[in-house]
């Protein structure tokens, strides 16, 4: 497995692989790898001859410096996991490789980036789309794989790639969960024992909404009320948002659902009692398969 830091070295290698007719898949990550990331590697392997993983904690997508500095990092462990997963190459650039001194250029998607995480984390998606565009230009992949847990991020990246006529296929990989339903996330390691138990309420809330819809419930307020009650029953939990949105446009769902809707959640968990540390923000989602009315 190759490990490359230089963007120019990576671009030259990509040119060589493409000249040989080889198909490249890229899995962009911020490291702290877990089974969810490795499932994206497996998906990439199905679609390409070469599987490349990027590991870069992107400073421009963090709203708070402390969150950036506290993001989990263990490059040696990440590299070992990549080797075991059969990754062909890891791109682990230093910040100056992607953000040259006095860089002034940004890539930004507008409407799709405004609600949900965009509303509570201003500038976040500008940082995401800027760094992803840079990674795509460095690796020149035929396909790039992103996790569906970050539902809005996936939608924003797809829109960016389409709007900028990028010659890359954007693929979503299914959410991987723990036995109690908690979606795998690099941030889970910061949860204390009590917060970790309470965090399973996100998947329970999604399950409850799905079961309600299956039973005929279509009232948006009723569905969101049930979701909030499940989560807010947890002493350490604080809902950032719980919203129903159109899966494609991310427009707010009507007061009564008439078609599929994505139920998107973001929840803060405070440190366990008598423990220090910062709050941990977790996200999750579920597309509720509401049938559209006949016209």
Active site residues: 37
For 171, phi then psi, to 5°, come to -115, 140
Angstrom distance (rounded) from CA 3 to CA 66: 28
């Amino acid at each position: 497995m190759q490990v490359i830091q230089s963007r120019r070295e990576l671009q030259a290698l990509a040119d060589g692989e493409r000249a040989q007719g080889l198909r490249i898949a890229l899995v962009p990550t911020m490291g702290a790898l877990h089974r969810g990331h490795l499932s994206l590697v497996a998906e990439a392997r199905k679609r390409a001859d070469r599987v490349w993983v990027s590991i870069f904690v992107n400073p421009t997508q963090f709203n708070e410096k402390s969150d950036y500095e506290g993001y989990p990092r263990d490059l040696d462990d990440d590299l070992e996991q990549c080797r075991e997963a059969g990754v062909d190459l890891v791109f682990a650039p230093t910040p100056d490789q992607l953000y040259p001194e006095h860089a002034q250029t940004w890539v930004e998607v507008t409407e799709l980036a405004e609600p949900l995480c965009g509303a509570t984390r201003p500038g976040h998606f500008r940082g995401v789309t800027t760094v992803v565009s840079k990674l795509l230009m460095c690796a020149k992949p035929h396909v790039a794989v992103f996790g569906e847990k970050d539902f809005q991020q996936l939608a924003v990246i797809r829109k960016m790639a389409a709007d900028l006529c990028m010659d890359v296929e954007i693929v979503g990989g299914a959410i991987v969960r723990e036995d109690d339903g908690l979606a795998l996330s690099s941030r889970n390691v910061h949860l204390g024992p009590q917060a970790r138990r309470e965090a399973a309420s996100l998947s329970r809330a999604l399950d409850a909404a799905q079961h309600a819809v299956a039973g005929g419930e279509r009232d948006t307020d009723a569905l969101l009320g049930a979701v909030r009650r499940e989560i807010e029953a947890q002493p350490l939990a604080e809902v950032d948002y719980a919203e129903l949105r159109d899966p494609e446009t991310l427009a707010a769902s009507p007061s009564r659902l008439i078609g599929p809707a994505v139920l998107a959640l973001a929840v803060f968990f405070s440190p366990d009692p008598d423990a220090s540390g910062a709050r941990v923000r977790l996200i999750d989602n579920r597309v509720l398969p509401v049938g559209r009315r006949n016209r």
